[in-house]
Amino acid sequence: MRSSWRVFIVIESLLLLWALYQMFGNVPAIIFLTFALINLFYAVKKKRKTSFNQFQLIASIIIIVLSLLSSPAIWLALVLAIIYFGLIMGEISEVRLFNFAPWKKKQIKMIQTTSRNVRSGKRFKRPWIGSQRLGSDTYEWDDINFSVVIGDTIIDLGNTLLPKEDNVVIIRKGFGRTRILVPTGIGVMLEHSSMRGAVHFDQEVYHLNNESLKLYSEDYDESTRRLKIITNTLFGDLEVIRV
C-alpha cells in the first residue's frame, strides 16, 4: 500500500507540473486565475463580511476551478485520482469483518479431493485493473498465471492443498504491491524482476533497482511440495509470507 501511495503521488506531481506548464502557455487562463486569486485573498482577509464579499468569494472559487480545468493535465490527474481511490475503496470493502470472530478460531475446513481426471483445459478472464485477493475461501489448487496493470494483489495458499509436484505462480504487473501467503513446509523458489521495489523473502529484504533475483527457501530440496513463483513488476513490492 505504501509503495502504491508513493507511485500515485509521483504521477500526480508530474501531472501538476505539466498542468503548470500548460497554464503558462495559456495567457487568458493565467489572467483570470491571477485575478481570481487576488479577489479570493481580499474576500478572505476582510474582517467585516458583506454580501458583496460573499459574492467575491464564490465567484473567485468558480473562476479558479474553471481556469484549472482548462488544462488537459488537470483532467488526467482527476481521472487517475478517481481510479486510484476507487481501487483503494474496493480493497477496503473486501475485508471480511467477521474473519476474527471468536467462533471462527476453532473452525475446521475440510478439502474434498477427487481422483485425477483427464485434463481438458479451460479459458477464463481476470481483471487488469484493481486490487485482487485469491484464496479467501477453500478452493481446489490450479497453477496461477495472470497480468495486472495496476493494483494490489494477495494470493492466499493457506486455503488450498498443493499437489506433491512443482506448482507455479506467474504474475506480470505494472504498478502495485503483491503478497503471497505460503503455508509452512512448502519449498519455495522465487524469480523476480523489477524496475523499482523491495522483496521480502524468508525474513530478508532485498531492494531492486532495475534488477532481477532468484531465491530458494532452505527446505526447497527436501520438500515434497514445491512452489515456483515467477513475477515481473515495474514498480511495487513483493512479499512472500509464511503462514
Q: Is residue 163 part of a domain?
A: yes
Same domain for 8 and 89, yes or no, is: yes
Same domain for 13 and 77, yes or no, is: yes
Rounded distance between C-alpha atoms, residue 153 and residue 223, angstroms: 26
Model confidence pLDDT, tens digit, residues 24-82: 777 777 787 788 888 888 777 777 777 777 787 888 888 888 877 777 888 888 888 88
Which residues make beta-bridge pairs with 90?
Answer: none
Pull the grid cell for residue 201: 523473502
Q: Is residue 121 part of a domain?
A: no
Single-letter amino acid code for the residue at 137? D
Same domain for 145 and 228, yes or no, is: yes
Same domain for 136 and 87, yes or no, is: no
How many domains does the chain divide into? 2
> Of 68, 93, 118, which residue constitutes the final position of a domain?
93
Q: Is residue 161 part of a domain?
A: yes
Closest CA to 5 of 147, 177, 132, 129: 177
> Of 93, 119, 153, which residue constitutes the final position of a domain?
93
What are the two backbone dihedrals, phi and then psi, of residue 105, each rounded to the nearest 5 degrees?
-65, -30
Same domain for 135 and 237, yes or no, is: yes
Q: Is residue 122 part of a domain?
A: no
Question: What burial class does residue 12 get, using C-beta atoms within 10 Å of its C-beta: 0-12 exposed, 13-18 middle, 19+ buried?
Answer: middle
Same domain for 238 and 132, yes or no, is: yes
Q: Is residue 107 part of a domain?
A: no
Model confidence pLDDT, tens digit, residues 89-129: 655 454 444 444 554 454 455 545 555 555 556 666 777 77
Percentages (nearest 5) of helix, strand, coil residues in the chain: 35, 30, 35
pLDDT for res 137 = 76
- Beta strands of 92-186 (E only): which ranges? 132-134, 144-150, 153-156, 166-175, 178-182
The answer to pTM > 0.95 is: no
Which residue range forms the structural domain that includes residue 189? 127-242
Residue 151 contacts residue 190 (beta carbons within 8 Å): no
Q: Is residue 104 part of a domain?
A: no
Model confidence pLDDT, tens digit, residues 16-31: 888 877 777 777 777 8
> Of 93, 112, 138, which residue constitutes the final position of a domain?
93
pLDDT for res 193 = 93
Same domain for 74 and 160, yes or no, is: no
Contacts within 8 Å (CB) and 24+ apart, 94-97: 94/131, 94/133, 94/136, 96/136
Phi-psi region of 151 (alpha: psi -120 to 50; beta: other; left: phi over 0): left
Same domain for 238 and 131, yes or no, is: yes
Q: Is residue 72 part of a domain?
A: yes
Model confidence pLDDT, tens digit, residues 189-236: 999 999 889 999 988 999 999 899 999 998 888 888 899 999 999 888
Rounded distance between C-alpha atoms, residue 8 and residue 3, angstroms: 9
Q: Is residue 145 part of a domain?
A: yes
Buried b (16+ CB within 10 A) or exposed e, 49-67: eeeebeebbeebeebbeeb
Rounded distance between C-alpha atoms, residue 206 and residue 229, angstroms: 16
